[in-house]
Each structure stands twice: as structure tokens, then as C-alpha cells.
Amino acid sequence: MSETGGAGRTNAVLSKLSVIGDLLMLQIVFLVLSLGVVTLYPAAFAFQRVVPDALSQDHPQLLRRFFRQFKWAFPRFWLTGLALYFGSIALAFGLFFWANTNGPVRIIALVILVPLSGMIIGLYLSTLAVLPAAPEDSTPKSLFREANLFLLRRSLSVAGGVIALATWFALVSQLPTLFAIGSGLVPALIGYWISRTRTVQEKKESPDVSI
């Protein structure tokens, strides 16, 4: 009995280590692909579509699946990703500038920029949440529409994801080496977690199977 239990615990540990290894492998590939500015967001989208497979361990050849998803994402979202990249830089510069400026205008600017940043990050996390189930013929417009609906339906979960990602950014600012480990992995896991949450209405409608 104890031998069976010990073997079960060993298998569970090995399975978790395999998941961690697969996620870190995908993170390394993401880092390499994201070195090109144009490929940053397509790589992040490909990462997101493969994360459920890495966590479930149901599908082998994750690298092949990752590159297949990257090939799918790049022609569809490279231009949108480029706009997001430069928009993110402009927004970060604006926050940094007004946070280090004196005067009443500073307060007005931050009152506008901080909620705007949270909304944009929330919409991005919502996009990550819906990506694994997005159809093959998705376009930036259809993906934005689906992410917007997700944000409206699960605003509390998305808000929790925004707080989690902001905490991650704060940690990276103190320990920059963490960037190499989780730059793509942390947002992907947060997006996956958000996609697994359910609204209050969904919980009410789900059948109670407890005995």
C-alpha cells in the first residue's frame, strides 16, 4: 500500500516537473522570437494558444505546435502587434513623465492615464484568455470583439489579473532577472487563469452534482 502511494507521489512530482520544464522551454522560445519587435505579439499569441496543452500534458511535440501557432498568428496580427508595441511604449513614457512632474496638471494626467492603462491591460489579458478557443479564421476585429465581450462578462476576474500583472511588473522592476523567466509566461498563465474563472451567473446555471 505504501509502495503504491509512494509511486503515485513520485509520478505526481515528475508530472509537475514535466509541466514546469515545458513552460520554461516555451518561455525560451518566446524570448528568442520576441527579439524582433514585429514578432513580439504574434509570439505571445502563439504562446497563449499552446499553454493549455503544456499544462494538460495531453499533446506531445509542443515546440512544433508552438511554431504552427506562430505561423498562424504572425500574418494575422503582426500589424496590430506593432501598433500595440509602440502604443505601450508611449503610454509607459507618459506615465513615467507625469509621475515625475510637479504641479496640478500632473494629478489630472495621472487620473486619466492610470485607469486608461488598467483598461488596456485588462483588454489585453482578455484577449489572451479567449485566444486558445479562437477559431482559425480569426481577424484582429473579431478577436477584439470577443475579448471586449469577455472583459464585460468577467470584469472582476480581469481586474484581479490586472492587479496580478501589475504586481509582476513591480517585482521585475526590483529584480530585472525575472524578466527572462516570466516575460511571456506570467501574462500567459494569468490569461489562462482568467479564462478558467466563471461568472456568478454561470455558477448559478451549472447543475449541482454534489451528494
Give the single-character DSSP code of 57: T
pLDDT at residue number 205: 54
Residue that has been written with the C-alpha cell 518566446 in this structure: 30
Burial of 123 (0-12, 13-18, 19+ CB in 10 A): middle
Using an 8 Å Cβ cutoff, are 31 and 66 in contact? no
pLDDT at residue number 61: 85
Record the pTM: 0.88
Among 145, 107, 106, 109, residue whose Cα is nearest residue 126: 145
SS3 state of residue 113: helix
Using an 8 Å Cβ cutoff, are 190 and 166 in contact? no
Using an 8 Å Cβ cutoff, are 152 and 165 in contact? no
pLDDT at residue number 91: 93
What is the C-alpha separation between 127 and 45, in angstroms, rounded?
9
Q: Tell me the per-residue pLDDT of 65-113, one tens digit each, with 9 for 90 and over.
A: 999 999 999 999 999 999 999 999 999 999 999 999 888 899 999 999 9
**In the chain, which stretches have pLDDT less than 70?**
1-8, 198-211
pLDDT at residue number 12: 75
